[in-house]
Amino acid sequence: MAVTSTGIGNRQQIWNLGNNIIDTSKLVELELQALDMKKTPYNNEKEQLTQEKLLYASLKKEFSSLTQTMKDLSSFKGNEKK
């Protein structure tokens, strides 16, 4: 049995596979969905790490004056004038 492949519009059709006609655009769509499903855990982890990084930067900025005050207090030795 000879298999024939034809292009109809933007679809590729494969013929002479028995009673079944395979629409390769659907196969490609299924492959893309499978790839998206594989990328989902990575994307979720990346998004979570990005949010944590932004939170850390925000907290660091918010507490920088407090940190500097604590450093100044720890280095204070008596009646110093600045």
Q: Please report the sign of the dihedral spanned by the C-alpha atoms of residue 7, residue 8, residue 13, residue 19.
A: negative
CB-CB contact of 15 with 6 (8 Å):
yes
What is d(CA 23, CA 29) in angstroms, rounded to the nearest whole number?
10
pLDDT of residue 79: 74
pLDDT of residue 14: 67
What is d(CA 13, CA 73) in angstroms, rounded to the nearest whole number?
77
pLDDT of residue 26: 82
Q: Please state at what angle helix 64-75 crosses helix 24-62, rounded to 10 degrees.
A: 40
pTM of the model: 0.47
Percentage of residues in the chain having pLDDT higher than 70: 76
